[in-house]
Amino acid sequence: MGRHRSDPLGIARLALVGLAVVLLLAVVVIGARALLSTFGSEEPAAGASSTPSAQPSAEPSAEPSTPRVPTVRVVCQADRCPVFVRVPGGDVLIDRDLARGEQASYFEPELDVVLDDASTVQVFENGTARSPGPPGERQAFSVKKAPDQ
């Protein structure tokens, strides 16, 4: 009786419990990241707006002068438009799919833009339409705010 004997089934059960805990933690972390990215896409970063084009802006304007022109505005013209915009060397402003008619506008002085399919979106650089790319073409480009804006 004084001898201690290791139980192979007990060790296997402990290993399975440990694996289940690790998998549960992974699911919680992935779910939390997905939830946070969903909230992040609903509330644009400072200086940005992302709204469906069918809805007019109801925000009162503090400046009665000419409206501000975004450095870049992307309007989705397909069912799904993957868009990535960031401040060079800084914050990612959007990294998600826009839905048909949805648009995203950014006013930062300089932006990096990546479009997975440049033919699915209409892009405006400082208010000027950029020519669309061929279907399926990935485009990456930088845009600087026009000096007069």
Give dist(CA 99, CA 79) in Å, integer.
6
| DSSP per-residue codes, 79-116 | SEEEEEEE-TTS-EEEEEEEETTEEEEE--SEEEEEES
pLDDT bin (cut points 50, 70, 90) of residue 18 is confident
Count of beta carbons in the 10 Å neighbourhood of residue 75 = 19
pLDDT in tens, 107-118: 999 999 999 999
Burial class (CB in 10 A: 0-12, 13-18, 19+), 57: exposed
Tell me the pTM.
0.56
**C-alpha–C-alpha distance, residues 85 and 13, integer Å:** 48
Q: What is the pLDDT of residues 1-13, one digit of tens each?
A: 555 566 777 888 8
